[in-house]
Amino acid sequence: MKLFQRLIRDRRAIAMTEFALAAPVFLTAGLWGLETANLAITHMRLSQAAMQIADNASRIGDTSMFEYRKIYESDINDIFVGANIQAGNSIDLFEHGRVILSSLEGDSSGDQSIHWQRCMGAKEAVSSFGLAGDTGITGMGPPGEEVMAMPDDAVMFVEVVYDYQPLVTDALVSDTTIRTHAAFTVRSSRDLTQIYQRDSAKPDPISDCNTYNGYKASVPENKVGHWSWNWG
């Protein structure tokens, strides 16, 4: 009994005991704040990537003053490469996500259809707003917020689906799948009949939506006496 009373009256190491009790709470709160901040940054970077892809897709095409501008498979491939560079290695967009580029078009009467889609990324995901070949649709986008193309014109609609990569653990994040989208109207008169190949004898790869694979940019091999790409 005396030993127990002495233990109750003993105030030595009380600060250490309080720290031991409070540390897990503060550590969890700190990690949650860190993970939440990283999630917000990831959302922002993916949203910027979606806007960049849609904007660039609205501008592509050969320049001609006498005919509608043609677009090529190589143009679309270049857009995806640029998006991967902009998103950065920490995101690794096409290893953990998928980008879906759709050409939403309006016919002469204003009816909406998805003429074609091109995709890139290892994540198995499809468009939430329609597939290539869909006709008679309201538009693309969330219900009540659909984007529509003008008659005889097109809108480049981009969807990004991404599996969030946590800094510590995904147990601190409620939803680990990020979805974002963006749309830009085609900037100039475009040939909407098809996507062309620049050289039919040596066709460029088609970013088909039935293929699920990642993409990593390769750094050119160094040559003696030449400038190096390896900055690190």
16 assigned to some structural domain: no
200 assigned to some structural domain: no
Taking residues 200-207, report their average pLDDT: 93
Taking residues 97-114, report their average pLDDT: 95
Q: Give CA–CA dist 19/181, Å, rounded.
A: 46
- Per the structure, how many domains does the chain have? 1
17 assigned to some structural domain: no
Give the predicted TM-score (pTM) of the model. Answer: 0.80
35 assigned to some structural domain: yes
11 assigned to some structural domain: no
- The pLDDT tens digits for 59-86 are 998 877 667 899 999 999 999 999 988 8
Taking residues 189-214, report their average pLDDT: 92
**pLDDT score recorded for residue 12:** 62
Taking residues 49-67, report their average pLDDT: 88
Q: Give CA–CA dist 51/106, Å, rounded.
A: 21
| In the predicted structure, residue 11 carries a pLDDT above the cut 50 | yes
| In the predicted structure, residue 139 carries a pLDDT above the cut 70 | yes
19 assigned to some structural domain: no
Give percent of the chain with pLDDT exceeding 70: 78
pLDDT band at 219 (very low <50, low <70, confident <90, very high): very low
Long-range CB contact pairs, 139-147, < 8 A, 24+ = 139/104, 139/112, 140/102, 140/104, 140/112, 140/114, 140/183, 141/181, 141/183, 147/104, 147/183
Q: What residue numbers bound the domain in which 64 lies? A: 24-185
| In the predicted structure, residue 18 carries a pLDDT above the cut 50 | yes
130 assigned to some structural domain: yes
